[in-house]
Amino acid sequence: MNLRSMIDQILNNKKMNINYTNENEITNFRGICYGNIKYGVLYRGSHPFMKDKERDEIYSKLVSEAGINCVINMAGNSDDLEYIANMVSWYNTLLKKGNVTGLDIQFNFDFFDQFETDVFNYRLRQGFLFLITHNSPYLIHCNAGADRTGFISVVIELLFGANLNEVIYDYLLSYGKIIADAKDDGENYLAGRNIYGQINAVIKGKIEDSGNLQANIKKYFLEGIGLTPDELEMLICKLSG
Whether 190 is covered by a domain: the verdict is: no
Residue 241's pLDDT band (cuts 50, 70, 90): confident
Q: H/E element holding 159?
A: helix 148-159
- Check residue 213 and give its pLDDT: 94
Whether 50 is covered by a domain: the verdict is: yes
Whether 183 is covered by a domain: the verdict is: no
What residues form DSSP beta bridges with 102? 73
Residue 240 DSSP SS3: helix
Number of domains forming the structure of the chain: 1
pLDDT per residue as tens digits for the range 181-199: 876 667 777 888 888 889 9
Whether 11 is covered by a domain: the verdict is: no
Whether 3 is covered by a domain: the verdict is: no
Please name the residues in contact with 113: beta carbons below 8 A apart, sequence gap of 6 or more.
none
- Check residue 15 and give its pLDDT: 46
Separation between Cα atoms, residue 217 and residue 200, nearest integer Å: 10
CATH of the domain at 216: 3.90.190
Instruction: Give the range of the structural domain holding residue 64, as residue numbers without chain letter.
Output: 22-163+195-240
- Check residue 13 and give its pLDDT: 58
Among 109, 131, 132, smallest CA distance to 121 is for: 109
pLDDT per residue as tens digits for the range 80-124: 999 999 999 999 999 999 999 999 998 776 656 788 888 899 999
Whether 9 is covered by a domain: the verdict is: no
Instruction: Characterize the bridge pairing of strands 70-73 and 100-102.
Output: parallel
Among 5, 30, 4, smallest CA distance to 177 is for: 30
**What's the predicted TM-score (pTM) here?**
0.92
Instruction: Characterize the bridge pairing of strands 42-45 and 70-73.
Output: unpaired
**CB–CB of 153/44 below 8 Å?**
yes
The single-letter code of the amino acid at 141 is: H
Whether 187 is covered by a domain: the verdict is: no
Whether 223 is covered by a domain: the verdict is: yes
Separation between Cα atoms, residue 157 and residue 40, nearest integer Å: 14
Among 183, 222, 219, 227, smallest CA distance to 203 is for: 219
